[in-house]
Chains A and B, each alone.
Chain A
Amino acid sequence: MRHHPTETTLAAYAGGALPEPMGLVVATHLFGCPACRRLTAMAEAVGGTLLEDLPPAAIDDDALALVLARTERPVAPAKPSRLQGGLPPPLNACSFGPWRRLGLGLRWRALNSGSHVQAGLLEGAPGKSLPRHSHAGMELTCVIAGSFRDGHERYVAGDLVEIEGEHRHQPIIDASGPCLCIIATEGVKFSGLLGFAQRLLTD
């Protein structure tokens, strides 16, 4: 694994400021990357330090009593998660739509995120290439299985590809096997792999 999220993205993830679907892509990378987990832990410690240094706000007089009273009430059992087989744990309990064939050896499974950021799983058959495309905004992709090439770079399982702003490229899936990725993107049109998938779906 050679491709990691930028430090600003990890800081936004640790601070809770990254849109959720993007957070899931980062979490998928973190699952397989101890180095980035350490950086995230550091960024969370920064958050703890900042919290510690904030001036206290006035809170309601009865706040402590209210919370102590609530600790006595029984806790509702957590809803069982709908586990999906074969996905990394951070994606395990996510709700995905059905697989849709896109043609050209590609299929797409949207994440039901409810966010302005669109996300989902994209799987491509060995040796297939995506049409050249461009996008604006931020896009995060994490390879779950298989590998692809884009220009001189090769991306394997665990790698995270972070693209920001105007960018043109043409990923080609390696011939050795299918490639499965989780993608989150801000743009709606001309937005990378997903924008391409969307256009195919809406055409």
Chain B
Amino acid sequence: MNAFGTLAGRWLASSSPGAWAQVMTTPDPGFAALILAVAEHADREAFSILFRHFAPRLKTMLMRGGASGQAAEELAQETMLLVWRKAGQFDPEKAGASTWIFTIARNLRIDAFRRERHPDTLLPDPSEALEEPVRADQVLATAERDVRVRAAMETLSPEQADVVRAAYFLDQPHAEIEKQLGIPLGTVKSRLRLAMTKLRAALEDLA
């Protein structure tokens, strides 16, 4: 456990028994419960813990994607502001906390990229049209999925892991990976495909 463990522990120790029940059933108990606390009673202390953990990592992610230190700082802050505002939409049964925050940052990065080049155009966020009710039997599947994704990630070869990381963090990934890792585009794609197949196989029997 990292420093977060103690911070979250301190927060949880002072929260209601309901929060504990939540903790027992979610894949990343601390973070999910903290987001729910922000949603339910605008809990600034819970938000501060989330901020201290995620903002510095979001900044790293955005800088790896090619943003300057200042742009990454602004986008990381913007992402955390949306975490506050959208906390009511967070559903721990559909996505883990870090996955949810990752998608918020991803969408913001797409928006920022568009504003830079074409300030006049507005495309909607297509993922928002895909909201659907969660079935009861998906709940366990989601918790299990996050655990297994992490386990499967650890089985990737270093070469596959490099390509996957680059594919998620670079702006124009495939061509960029070719340049940065010095491997041909065909190899980038086949490694990525193999990595995805491996991850998928680890999840095969889930709903």
With the chains together, A121 CA to B147 CA distance in Å?
40
Chain A interface residues toward B at CB < 8 A: 6-8, 10-12, 14-17, 20-21, 23-24, 26-28, 30-31, 37-39, 41-52, 54-60, 63-64, 66-68, 70-71, 75, 81, 88-90, 92-95, 112-115
Task: Using known A-B contacts A51-B57, A57-B56, A67-B77, determine if residue A31 contacts B129 with beta carbons closer than 8 Å.
Answer: yes
Does any Cβ of A come within 8 Å of B35's Cβ? no
Q: Is the CB of B130 within 8 A of A30?
A: yes
Contact of A7 among B60, B101, B196 (CB under 8 A): B196
Q: B132-162 vs A: 1/0 string, CB under 8 Å?
A: 0000000000100110011001000000000
How many residue-residue contacts, CB under 8 A, span A and B? 198
Within 8 A of A (CB), among B20-60: 42, 44, 47-48, 51-52, 54-60
Q: Is the CB of A15 within 8 A of B57?
A: no
Q: Is the CB of A57 within 8 A of B60?
A: yes
With the chains together, A71 CA to B48 CA distance in Å?
12
Q: Is the CB of B145 within 8 A of A45?
A: yes
Contact of A45 among B47, B56, B149, B170 (CB under 8 A): B149
Report B-chain residues with C-beta under 8 Å of the C-beta of A46: 149, 153, 164, 168, 199
With the chains together, A180 CA to B145 CA distance in Å?
36
Q: Is the CB of B193 within 8 A of A7?
A: yes
Contact of B200 among A39, A54, A58, A88 (CB under 8 A): A39
Q: Is the CB of A47 within 8 A of B118?
A: no
Report A-chain residues with C-beta under 8 Å of the C-beta of B98: 48-49, 51-52
Q: Is the CB of B172 within 8 A of A71?
A: no
Interface centre among A26, A28, A90 (most CB of B within 10 A): A90
Q: B66-107 vs A: 1/0 string, CB under 8 Å?
A: 000100110011001100110000000011111111110111
